[in-house]
Structures are given as structure tokens and as C-alpha cells.
Amino acid sequence: MPTPHIEAKKEDIAKIVLMPGDPLRAKMIADSYLENYRLVNTVRNILAYTGFYKGKEITIFASGMGIPSIGIYSYELFQFYGVEEIIRIGTCGANRQDVKLLDVILAESASSLSTFAKLFDGTEENTIPSSIELNQKIEQAAKDNHITLKKGMILTSDVFDPYVEDINQYFANYPKEWNTLASEMEAFGLFYMAKKFNKKASCLLTVVDSPYDKKEISSEERQNSLNEMIIIALDSILK
């Protein structure tokens, strides 16, 4: 049952999806962590792989960048492929001084000024929560792996904030009461689609840039932190 953006048959997609932004990261996760996996989507080079993690079937499906992209893929996966759970894994920038480089963040909600939800069906909400049930499993997986999570609200932006010339003006555009931990570009769209279809979604992020800390992080440090995030997400599906 192909869609305009997914060529897989319905049976090729697992009920649980792990969703990185980068198609090559999807390939890396499949190569590194899955058994008996197969490539199930190549349309627009948005790669997807279905296989088994410790005996549990899972699909690793790239989302691309931004709310419109993840909105398309999560809509089609929830609506046409019977997917029940999607966990986004990605990178983010710190919005507060107490959020440090390489911290791993669990998004309890995502706030955005995007018009995506309003244009889609008139929804006026600009803060949407993630799944409490998925979050509890993720927290347990983090605890089992002795990995500390920072938990709270995140900001889903339409711009890549490191390119913003005046970061103080960037933050001033948003309501002060949001007090978000970090900025990224997709979670609000995913949480909106999950709520629309009565499905479950969550989001894990690794902090890779900060306006408060300009120190360089090595490629090895960055990859180790990303691996921690990936392991938490994968182990959570076993709970």
C-alpha cells in the first residue's frame, strides 16, 4: 500500500518506529543495532529499515528536517501503515545555561509558533504533550543504562537557531512562560499527528550546540552521546 512518499507494503513497517532526522543515521542504526533487517523505503532517499532489536520488531524511518517533513511521514505511518508508536531521536541546541553540551533530553511537551496545526485542521494549540506511557518506558531504559535525562518542554522552531544573528531576539519572540530546555525543528509536528490519530509519540534529543558554551566537542564525544540516546530509545521498546 504505497503512499506518495512511502513505497513499503503495510506489512513491511513495524508497529513501533524510531525516527531520526538523517537518512544516513537511520542506516547506521540499522547496521549497528538491528538483526535480520531489510531496506523498506528509498523514496526521496528517505531511508527506512525494518528488523529486530533483541527480538522485538522495529522500523527505523528517517523524517527529514522540519515540521512539514516529519508531518508528512508521521501522518502516513499512523494513518496508512498502522504504526502505534513513534520515538523521534535527534539533536538540539540549548535554550538555558543549565542545559549542557551532550546532555540527553526527554521532551515532555513541544511548543511552537508554527502555523502547521492551525493550517491542517484549525487547531489553535501551540503546546502539545508527548506520551506519558512512552516517557515512562524511556525513563526506565535510561535508568537501567545509568544515563541521566533532563526532562521538560522543548521548542520546535522553523529556523536553525545557530544561524540566527541575534539569539536574544530569537528567545524574545517566544512566551516567557514556555521556559524551554532546547530548540529543535520537528517534535511539535510529530506530537500533533500522534494526538490527531490517538497514537503515541515521544522525543529524545542530544544537545550539540549552545549559545552559552562555545567549546568544541569532538566527533567521538558527539557520537558516544548520540549512541546513548539511541540505546535508551531502543531499550525502551522492550519495556
In CATH, which of 3.10.450.50, 3.40.50.1580, 3.30.565.10, 3.40.1350.10 is domain 10-236? Answer: 3.40.50.1580
pLDDT at 215: 83
Residue 216 has pLDDT above 80, yes or no: no
Residue 43 gets which letter from DSSP? G
Residue ranges covered by each domain of the chain: 10-236
- This prediction has a pTM of 0.96
Which comes out higher in pLDDT, residue 196 or 176?
196
Interval 207-222 mean pLDDT: 86
CA 228 to chain CA centroid, nearest Å: 14
Distance CA 209, CA 162 (A): 8
Least Cα distance to 70 among 208, 201, 205 occurs for 201
Residue 93 has pLDDT above 80, yes or no: yes
Interval 5-9 mean pLDDT: 97
Active-site option among 22, 144, 158, 209: 209
Distance CA 180, CA 118 (A): 22
pLDDT at 60: 98
106-122, pLDDT tens digit by residue?
999 999 999 999 999 99
Least Cα distance to 129 among 103, 148, 156, 150 occurs for 156
Buried b (16+ CB within 10 A) or exposed e, 95-134: bbeebebebbbbbbbbbbebebbeeeeeeeebbbbbbeeb
Assess whether 209 carries a catalytic annotation.
yes
Contact 76, 6 (CB under 8 A): yes
125-142, pLDDT tens digit by residue?
999 999 999 999 999 999
